[in-house]
Amino acid sequence: MELRDLRTFVAVARHLSFHRAAAEVFAAQSTVSARIAALEDELGVRLFERLGRRVDLTSAGERLRAFAVKLLDLEDEARAFVAGESEARGSLTVRVPESLCAWRLGGIIRAFRERFPHVALRFTACTQEGLDKDLRQGVTDLAFLMADSVRAGDLVVEALGVEKLVLVAAPGHRLAGFSAVGPQDLQGETLVLSAADCSYRKMFEHLLSEAGVGLAAGVEFSSAAALRGCVLNGLGVSILPELAVRTDVAAGRLAVLPWAWDEGGPLETMVLMLRHKDKWLTPPLVAFMDLVRAHLMSGAEPVRLPVELLPILPEGAPAGGGSGRCC
């Protein structure tokens, strides 16, 4: 098996598209098809099911992907070791919540790029559905979640710190002048929230449900920026990371609703960093994780917890309270 063909195979497996894979590996689509056909002939198995314009991995393709990713990681490691850090190449794929990426990762990404100018970085939405599988197969190298619990399994999980959450609304909202806001004050209120499986949204909805609060039909967005824009225009109340709305609050465009409830603690969530325990730690990946540990939470010392001390959810339960995009 040629490493070139394996790299092409991994690209097709990642995108489930011959066209997008061709763009990634800088080859014609016919060349990509020929490389996959050559791999299938050599291995004597079908790696992809082609149903019209749709492409899916077969069970054999799923098995090969795990080994292909490991082989390509080993190639990148060898190149980095021989050429030296400044010539390291390859790529890192990171799943991260939108607001965490926008407000905390900028300086880290810049510092990483200065140190590893030839390593490509890919950031994708922090979808929890299938995350453990993608980490295991090397589709995702590293992931970040804003959650207080996670299905651990064969993942290495580090708790990096605590992210403060706030309730916000437009300055003219009826609750903006309250000295304290509790669950009952939100009775009948429109909540403007991130997609249904955002972990801290689930936490907040559970809190209101436990308090017996009934809400109006909510409005949800997959984009934190779109969500924030609608709250600015008076649509309703939202819960967001404090860091994500700090500028709007300082400028008077948003008001923080002072949350106060005797039966509940402060509104906050843990920031977790996850990788598979068998992931090959290339120098660029090690450097990126070290930068994150040192700088992500504004210089706070990371709280590193062994996997066995993290809450383990029952099999089938949604990790971190959900299974999709976080904000």
Is a pLDDT exceeding 60 seen at residue 97? yes
Average pLDDT over residues 71-84: 74
pLDDT-based confidence at residue 88 (cuts at 50, 70, 90): confident
Distance between CA atoms of residues 155 and 132, nearest Å? 7
Average pLDDT over residues 301-311: 38
Domains along the sequence of the chain with CATH:
1-83 (1.10.10.10), 163-264 (3.40.190.290)
Q: For 227-278, how does the pLDDT look when each residue is reduced to its tens digit (9 = 90+)?
A: 888 899 888 999 988 988 889 999 999 999 999 886 667 888 889 999 988 8
Average pLDDT over residues 115-126: 84
DSSP line for 205-263 = HHHHHHTT---PPPEEES-HHHHHHHHHTT--BEEEEHHHHHHHHHTTSSEEE-B--TT
Helix (H, G, I), strand (E, B) or coil at 180: coil
Is a pLDDT exceeding 60 seen at residue 316? no
Given this model, what pLDDT does residue 127 score? Answer: 60
Q: For 17-69, how does the pLDDT look when each residue is reduced to its tens digit (9 = 90+)?
A: 999 999 989 999 999 999 999 999 999 999 999 887 788 999 999 889 878 88
